[in-house]
Structure formats: C-alpha cells, structure tokens
Structure 1
Amino acid sequence: MPDNQEKEQPRRRQARGERRVAQLLEAAASVFCATGYTAASTNAIAREAGVSPGTLYQFFPNKEAIAIELGDRLMHEMRETYGEALAPVDPATPLEEAVGAAVDRFIDFNCEHPVFFALMHGPDIPGRISEEHDALHATLLARIEGLLRSLLPEAPGADVTRTAHMCLGLYKAGLELALAHEGAERDAYVQELKHVLIRYLEPLIGGRTAASAHPTAPPPA
C-alpha cells in the first residue's frame, strides 16, 4: 500500500502542474489578444490567471517562454485541423462543398483561438514562433496544392503552386476581415470569402475539365 501511495503522489503533482500550465496559457492568450505580445507582461498574465508572479515563474521563466509554449500547442492543433480540412477530395465533389468545408474549418479554428492570429501575424512575435510559423505556412501551402491537384489533375505543377499561393493570400485577407467583426457581420464576411475563392477557382477548374473532355477543340473565336 505505501508503494502505491508513493506512486500516486507524483501523479497528482503532475496533474496539478498540467492544470496550472493550462490556466496560465489561457490567461496569456487573453492578455496577448487584448494588448499584443510586446505590451503584455508576466505580471498581467499572472493577474489574469489569478496567481502570484512567483507561481507563474515556477512554470515559465519569462513571457517569451509562455508565448512559445502557447504557439507550439496552437500550431500542433492547427496541423491537425488542416490535415482534415485540406485532404484531397474526389474530383466529382462540387467546388462549393470543397471550398466551404475547408474555409469553415479554418475560420472555426481561428474564432475559437483568436490568439493564434494575434501571435502568428503580429509584427513582434518571438523568433522561434516566427520560424515555426514559416514551417507551418510551407506545409499549409503544400496541403492546399494537394487539394488543388485533386481538383486540377491535368494542370502543370507551376500553375497549381501559383493558384495555391493566391488561395492562401485571399484566405488571409478574408480571415482578417472576418475576425474584425462579430455575429452576423462576421458570417457575411465568411460567406464573401467563400464566394471570392469559388469565383476565382471556378473558371480554372471548369476550363481544365472542358479542355480534358475536348483536347482537340479549337479555341473560341
């Protein structure tokens, strides 16, 4: 029995520590969203978490360490999100359905975690987060290219890459507008973003499909 008790105590301490870290990260997310990374302080984060600065320093040596841990967790979750949202689709899938599902998944993630946009797109993010975000950006582009290749199987690789860059740029612009609004107005901007992407992709996908079906057809006069 004593042996079991000795094993149980470290587990309890570890569980308490994990809960405290989660509490501090949640508080940091709130402070970073409210003030930005540069203006935030460990004292403000501790105050938001309802703990003393000394308690915070038991888990994180400084503000940058908190931001890096928060960024790592968010990027891990984001990779899972776009892994599901940007999986290749059946070419027969309607374009509206493919675009709508991907946009909804990403918008939902950013609305649930507004600090992700604040940290990843701010002008003053810590160096390691910037490097991780660059890697995430490259992987995200590769996933978008994979999705587009399933919709444009005959398109040259350079065309698909260029289209992927355009889609990501359009999405980022629409996301910033959507996050700047709430409620019905945010929903309206999300819908506009879908319309923009669909109208951009529709002629490309329709044109490729027509060209594949009629490879010898002369160009229109």
Structure 2
Amino acid sequence: MSANREKDDQVQQEKEQPRRRQARGERRIAQLLEAAATVFTTTGYTAASTNAIAREAGVSPGTLYQFFPNKEAIAIELGDRLMHEMRETYGEALAPVGPATPLDEAVGSAVDRFIAFNCEHPVFFALMHGPDIPGRIAEEHDALHATLLSRIEDLLSSFLPDAVPADLTRTAHMCLGMYKVGLELVLGHEGAERDAYVQELKNALIRYLDPLVGDRPGRPDPARTAT
C-alpha cells in the first residue's frame, strides 16, 4: 500500500507542477504589465523601451522576453485588459435611468465612474491618445469609441425621448468631446484642484444638456450647478 501511496503522491505532484508554473507565469505577466503601465504613463508609449519596463519591474530584459517579444506586444496585452475593464465601467455608468432621475444626478454619476477609472488607470489615457500607438490598439479603441457613443445615445434618449436619431448622435458626440477635454485637465491636477476640475466638467455638461432637456421631471435647479 505504501508503494501505491507514493505513486499516487508522485502523480499528484506531476499534475500540480504545471499549475504552479502557470500561476508563476501569470504573476510575472501581471508584474510586467504593471511596470509597463508606469513607464507608459511617465514617458509615453513612443519613448518607452523594454529595458525601461524590465528595470521598473525589477527583472532582467531576458526575463521580459520570455513573455513578450517587444513593447508593442506588452502594450496590446495591457490595452486589451484595460478596454475590457472600461467596457464594464461604461456598462454601469451609462445604464438607462428612470424618468424621474434628475439630470445632474445622471451626469454626476457617469462622470464620477469614468473619472475614477481614468485616475486609477492613467495609462489608459496615455495609450489611447498617444501619437504612435499600435494599430491593433487603435482599432480596438475605435470600436470602443463607437460603442461608447451608442451607450451615451441610449442614456440621452431617457432625457430626450422625442429627439430624432441624428440629434441624439450629435449631442452624444458633443458630450464625449467635452468629457475628453475635461479629462485631460482633471488628470493634469491633483487633490482639491482635481476635484474642482471634476465639478467644472459636470457643470459644463449639465449646462449644455439642461436647455435641451427642458421641463422634464427632475430637471435640476440652475442655482445648484452654479456653485
């Protein structure tokens, strides 16, 4: 029986070894992606190098090349993960609202969720808006952008039920454009000044949308958004 037990233990160990190697590999990949996020945010994608990423991760370039052939592959993997998380974020932030939901509440909630994501992952802005991002990231970002616009239109239709599709599309483009400009200002500041820019962004969006919404139930008091 002892021989059988030893054989069973050996078989179990052989099964567990690949899993342990896989777990170590996944931890190493996560470590490299975290380092890449720091480097891309600090220097931009174009100026970044695999040596700088390896140095930030505390590993040798040879270790990095075991997992990624070049910085483009690193950026693509990082971008894929970020865009997946971004889709989850806008799925929550741009969910349809009830007819009595105040405009300022809907705008404020959406802005807060998007700002929180971008502040937690500043590399997302650096990667998606860099001048030399890999083509695959650009394509996926374009697809994300189109889906995001569609979700914004769906949210706006809750406030503008009688608007024609062309008007909704135009308004969605304006809202997203205003948000992107405001986001750059938000990310360029910290602390109380960042909070102030977040509020200014909300105010700008509400003041743009308020005249379009008109006398809808839950319309905000203009005095509330002026403070």
* TM score, norm. by length of structure 2: 0.90
- Tell me, yes or no, if structure 1 residue 118 matches structure 2 residue 104: no
Shift of 1:154: 1.2
- CA deviations 1:141-178 (Å, max 9, x no partner) are 00000100111111111111110000000000000000
CA distance in structure 1 between the aligned counterparts of 2:76 and 2:69, rounded to whole angstroms? 12
What amino acid is the match of 1:193?
L
Which residue of the partner structure matches residue 180 of structure 2? 172
Which residue of the partner structure matches residue 96 of structure 1? 104
Shift of 1:98: 0.2
Q: CA RMSD in A?
A: 1.0
1:87 alignment partner, SS class: coil
CA distance in structure 2 between the aligned counterparts of 1:155 and 1:91, rounded to whole angstroms? 15
Shift of 1:45: 0.3
- CA deviations 1:157-208 (Å, max 9, x no partner) are 111111000000000000000001111000000000000000111111116x
Shift of 1:7: 1.2
4+ long deviations beyond 6 Å: none
What amino acid is the match of 2:73?
A
Identity %: 85
Which residue of the partner structure matches residue 188 of structure 1? 196
Q: How many residues are aligned here?
A: 209
- Tell me, yes or no, if structure 1 residue 58 matches structure 2 residue 66: yes
Unaligned runs of 5+ in 2: 1-8, 218-227
Question: 2:25 pairs with 17, 32, 56, which one?
Answer: 17
Q: In the TM superposition, what are the counterparts of 1:4-83 in structure 2 within 5 Å?
A: 4-83=12-91
* TM score, norm. by length of structure 1: 0.93
Unaligned runs of 5+ in 1: 211-221
- CA deviations 1:23-58 (Å, max 9, x no partner) are 000000001111111111000000000000000000
Shift of 1:124: 1.2
CA distance in structure 2 between the aligned counterparts of 1:59 and 1:82, rounded to whole angstroms? 31
What amino acid is the match of 1:120?
M
CA distance in structure 1 between the aligned counterparts of 2:15 and 2:198, rounded to whole angstroms? 51
What amino acid is the match of 2:52?
A
